[in-house]
């Protein structure tokens, strides 16, 4: 599993980080830069056509 995360202040990835911390779950993560629009790159859109974070790749 790989969590595609984004730094603060993005609230939706933060909500997932809070949930994982509360459950004591440690996942491998990679950070997507919303400011640099990495969520709209071709590679990322192939994973999530909505072009948003977070996503969990299984
Ligand atoms: N329904 C999605 C919404 C995800 C979402 O809106 N993510 C925002 C960051 S908090 C995002 O990717 N914004 C960048 C964009 O839409 O280009 C969820 O709850 O995970």
Query: What does the domain layout of the chain look like in residue ranges?
Result: 2-57
Distance CA 34, CA 13 (A): 11
Q: Whose CA is nearest to atom 17 of ligand 1?
A: 52
Mutation choice for ligand 1 from 8, 52, 54, 56, CB with most ligand atoms inside 8 A: 52
Multiple choice CATH, 2-57, 1.20.1440.230, 3.30.559.10, 3.30.2350.10, 3.40.30.10: 3.40.30.10
For residue 32, give the H/E element and its range. none
Cα–ligand 1 centroid distance for 52 (angstroms): 4
| Ligand 1 pocket member 48 (CB < 6 A) | no
Summarize pLDDT for 8-50 with one digit per residue, the tens: 899 999 999 999 999 999 999 999 999 999 999 999 999 999 9
What pLDDT does 40 receive? 98
What pLDDT does 8 receive? 85
The pTM assigned to this predicted structure is 0.94
For residue 54, give the H/E element and its range. none
Q: What are the CA-CA distances from residue 49 to residues 22, 45, 46, 55 (Å)?
A: 29, 5, 6, 11
């Amino acid at each position: 599993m790989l969590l595609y995360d984004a730094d603060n202040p993005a609230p939706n990835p933060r909500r997932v980080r809070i949930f994982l911390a509360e459950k004591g779950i440690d996942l491998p993560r990679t950070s997507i830069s919303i400011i640099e629009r990495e969520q709209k790159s071709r590679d990322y859109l192939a994973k999530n056509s909505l072009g948003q974070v977070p996503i969990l790749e299984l």
